């Protein structure tokens, strides 16, 4: 996530320099005191110019000698980082509808990377939620995808995280040892797990074990961001240089994933794909209003 932040800061640096050559870095741009409307305009330009879109496929269809592989890699990386941050933000905020729209992009990514079962299960989940289940069941499922144990803003967790944590306490920490480590013993003592856990926490707090505290100060990433932004600027991945090559080419997972889904819908035999999807991706896109 920090890499994505610093890469976007570099995009701001490049765009600010285009506006005025005196803006050699973001500090100089900030010193010029740009108004909010100008910042919004620059942000719109960044979203259109520095994130992979249909224009990438057009540029790759041209003369290979005119490609800038590092620039193209940067566009794709910016897109993937933003998708991850968008999904993370939606989940932390408990925005179930936003999470559902984010899943569409990850279906393509998982399909392209060979994670066919993940893609199939995610598609089946959306299909059942929007086309199969009755309204009452839809609401129940949506309200139990994420949970907020602390009740604090932006602190939602996946429900499976809490289930696995309870399994850890029940089976490992408080599951008994030796002959006592049996299913019967675990079931018998499971109602006491919370009491055991509270007692352990009380002892730890009384002994002032700082490793169990939860109110940590925010990490100061100033120096880390400064050094990372400096490194990125030296390699200028967001400034177009025709003919520049790279040792590695970041794949366009969206295009590859869409091609695989199209083959499935056409009934093509794709290696590694066992089940045919019940709904097309277009059906879900229309239903979600993306």
Torsion of CA 53, 55, 61, 63, to 10 degrees: -130
Instruction: From first to last of the 290 residues of the chain, give the pLDDT tens digit.
Output: 788 999 999 999 999 999 999 998 999 999 999 999 999 999 999 999 999 988 887 777 777 777 888 999 999 999 999 999 999 999 999 999 999 999 999 999 999 999 999 998 999 999 999 999 999 999 999 988 898 888 888 889 888 887 787 777 777 766 667 776 777 776 776 677 677 777 777 877 777 665 655 556 677 888 889 999 999 999 889 998 888 888 888 999 988 888 888 887 666 445 445 454 456 777 777 777 77
Dump the DSSP string for 252-278: -HHHHHHHHHHHHHTT---TT--S--S
**Rounded distance between C-alpha atoms, residue 5 and residue 74, angstroms:** 13
Where exactly are the structural domains of the chain? 51-288
Running DSSP on this structure, what letter comes out for residue 156? -
């Amino acid at each position: 996530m920090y890499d994505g932040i610093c890469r976007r800061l570099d995009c701001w640096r490049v765009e600010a320099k285009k506006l005025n050559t005196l803006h050699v870095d973001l500090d100089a741009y900030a010193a010029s005191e740009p108004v909010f409307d100008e910042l919004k305009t620059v942000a719109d330009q960044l979203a259109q110019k520095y994130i992979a879109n249909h224009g990438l496929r057009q540029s790759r269809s041209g003369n290979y000698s005119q490609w800038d592989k590092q620039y193209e890699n940067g566009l794709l990386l910016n897109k993937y980082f933003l998708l991850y941050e968008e999904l993370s933000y939606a989940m932390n905020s408990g925005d179930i509808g936003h999470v559902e729209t984010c899943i569409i992009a990850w279906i393509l990514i998982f399909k392209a990377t060979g994670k066919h079962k993940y893609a199939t299960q995610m598609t089946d989940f959306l299909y059942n939620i929007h086309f199969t289940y009755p309204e009452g069941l839809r609401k129940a499922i949506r309200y139990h995808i994420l949970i907020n144990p602390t009740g604090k803003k932006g602190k939602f967790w996946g429900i499976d995280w809490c289930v696995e944590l309870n399994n850890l306490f029940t089976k490992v920490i408080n599951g008994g040892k030796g002959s006592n480590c049996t299913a019967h013993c675990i079931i018998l003592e499971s109602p006491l797990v919370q009491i055991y856990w509270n007692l352990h926490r009380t002892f730890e707090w009384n002994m002032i074990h700082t490793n169990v505290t939860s109110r940590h100060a925010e990490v100061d990433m100033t120096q880390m961001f400064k050094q990372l932004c400096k490194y990125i600027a030296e390699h200028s991945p967001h400034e177009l240089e025709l003919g520049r090559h790279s040792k590695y080419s970041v794949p366009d997972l969206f295009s590859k994933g869409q091609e695989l889904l199209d083959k499935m819908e056409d009934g093509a035999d794709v290696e590694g794909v066992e089940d045919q999807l019940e709904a097309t991706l277009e059906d879900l896109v229309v239903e979600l209003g993306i």
